[in-house]
């Protein structure tokens, strides 16, 4: 005798897949507001947070959701089909991967530049005053697989120092945490992150001739269901007001 449960099971397995499109297709929240999803590099946390508020003020019917992560992870998310309207990365390589896969609706636009600084705990226990002092200190940088890490590597190479980091952190905020907790004597982070950390860290400038410049790029995702709103977000970032917010946080002009 064939157990009827088997047939039922087969039918039941099929149902979730029929339901899936209706679940993932929602573009509005419970208040009927349109959801605009912006993927942004972790170093944009403060600035894009501010821009989100001003955008929502101008568009009361829009709920901007900014998701922060490392640029390469964000690029991977878009390429794997995560729903997103705009992507802003801290380098050209990551957004280039998205462009290469044909997932952008236009060419990426440069909207900011960021350089790096050395940060130490406020009491600077290892007496760091230049890049050369890193060799004798326990310092951390980002992993080379994320933009702040490749930039840090470039700087160490440029400076010709033999310094080896103690740890390659997953993103720039993790570097900052290790330094502000005093677990590392120093770290290499973006100027903007050091700025945002305020009194929690002390900064030591890196000379311009060895410093690395990360260019930030933004683009609208091809599968965005809200092309107009996405364009408006990009316009806001490029506008004098948007650029003002970025400059205040320590970003350089594109």
Partner 1 sequence: MSSSAVRTRGRAPLGLTLPAATALAFLVIPVAAVLIRAPWGTLVDDLSAPEARDALRLSLVTTVTSTVVCVAFGIPLAWLLARTSFRGRSLVRAMVTLPLVLPPVVGGVALLLAFGRNGILGKPLDDAFGISLPFTTAAVVMAQVFVALPFLVISVEGAFRASGERYDEAAATLGASRWSTFRRVTLPLAFPGVVAGAVLCWARALGEFGATITFAGNFPGTTRTMPTQVYLALQDDPDSAIALSLVLIVVSVVVLALLRERWLSGLST
| Residue 165 sits in the site that holds partner 1 (CB under 8 A) | yes
CB nearer partner 1, residue 70 or residue 224: 70
Which residues inside 75-134 make contact with partner 1, applying CB under 8 A? 76
Q: Give the separation between CA 82 and CA 85, rounded to whole angstroms.
A: 10
| Residue 200 sits in the site that holds partner 1 (CB under 8 A) | no
Beta strands in 121-237 (DSSP E): 139-142, 167-169, 186-190, 202-205, 214-220
| Residue 8 sits in the site that holds partner 1 (CB under 8 A) | yes
> Which of 140, 156, 179, 246 touches partner 1 (CB under 8 A)?
140
| Residue 24 sits in the site that holds partner 1 (CB under 8 A) | no
Count of residues that interact with partner 1, criterion CB under 8 A: 30
24-32, 38-46, 177-185, 231-239 -> range binding partner 1 (CB under 8 A): 177-185
CB nearer partner 1, residue 10 or residue 208: 10
The alpha carbon of residue 171 and the mean position of all alpha carbons in its chain are separated, in whole angstroms, by 9
| Residue 173 sits in the site that holds partner 1 (CB under 8 A) | no
| Residue 154 sits in the site that holds partner 1 (CB under 8 A) | no
CB nearer partner 1, residue 21 or residue 32: 21
Closest CA relative to residue 193, chosen from 88, 89, 114, 94: 114
In angstroms, what is the minimal distance from the CB of 44 to partner 1? 17
57-65, 181-189, 195-203, 220-228 -> range binding partner 1 (CB under 8 A): 181-189
Per-residue b or e along 29-50, where b marks 16 or more CB atoms closer than 10 Å to that residue's CB: eeeebbbbbbbbbbbbbbbbee
In angstroms, what is the minimal distance from the CB of 167 to partner 1? 3
Phi-psi region of 127 (alpha: psi -120 to 50; beta: other; left: phi over 0): left
Using DSSP's 3-state secondary structure scheme, residue 155 falls into helix
Helix then strand then coil, % of the chain, to nearest 5: 45, 25, 30
> Which of 110, 122, 182, 207 touches partner 1 (CB under 8 A)?
182
Per-residue b or e along 145-178, where b marks 16 or more CB atoms closer than 10 Å to that residue's CB: ebbbbbbbbbbbeebebebebbbbbbbbbbbbbb
In angstroms, what is the minimal distance from the CB of 238 to partner 1? 27
* Residues 6 or more apart in contact with residue 120 via CB below 8 angstroms: 126, 128, 179, 185, 186, 187, 201, 202, 203, 204
CB nearer partner 1, residue 89 or residue 224: 89
| Residue 183 sits in the site that holds partner 1 (CB under 8 A) | yes
| Residue 169 sits in the site that holds partner 1 (CB under 8 A) | yes
Binding footprint of partner 1 on the chain (CB under 8 A)? 3-5, 8-9, 12-13, 15-16, 70, 72-73, 76, 138, 140, 143, 145-146, 165-170, 174, 178, 181-184
């Amino acid at each position: 005798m064939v157990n009827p449960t088997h047939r039922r099971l087969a039918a039941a397995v099929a149902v979730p897949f029929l339901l899936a499109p209706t679940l993932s297709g929602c573009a509005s929240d419970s208040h009927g507001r349109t959801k605009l999803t912006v993927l942004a590099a972790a170093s944009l946390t403060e600035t894009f947070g501010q821009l989100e508020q001003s955008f929502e003020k101008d568009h009361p019917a829009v709920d901007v959701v900014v998701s922060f992560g490392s640029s390469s992870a964000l690029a991977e998310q878009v390429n794997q089909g995560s729903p997103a309207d705009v992507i802003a990365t801290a380098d050209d390589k990551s957004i280039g991967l998205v462009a290469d896969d044909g997932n952008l609706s236009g060419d990426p636009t440069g909207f900011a530049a960021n350089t790096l600084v050395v940060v130490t705990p406020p009491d600077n226990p290892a007496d760091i005053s230049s890049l050369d002092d890193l060799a004798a200190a326990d310092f951390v940088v980002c992993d080379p697989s994320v933009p702040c890490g490749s930039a840090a590597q470039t700087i160490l190479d440029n400076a010709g120092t033999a310094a080896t980091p103690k740890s390659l952190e997953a993103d720039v905020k993790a570097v900052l945490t290790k330094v502000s907790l005093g677990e590392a004597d120093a770290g290499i982070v973006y100027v903007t992150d050091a700025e945002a950390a305020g009194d929690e860290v002390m900064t030591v400038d890196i000379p311009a001739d060895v410093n690395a410049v990360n260019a930030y790029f933004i683009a609208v995702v091809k599968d965005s269901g809200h092309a107009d709103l996405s364009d408006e977000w990009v316009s806001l970032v490029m506008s004098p007001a948007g650029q003002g917010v970025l400059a205040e946080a320590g970003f350089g002009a594109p």
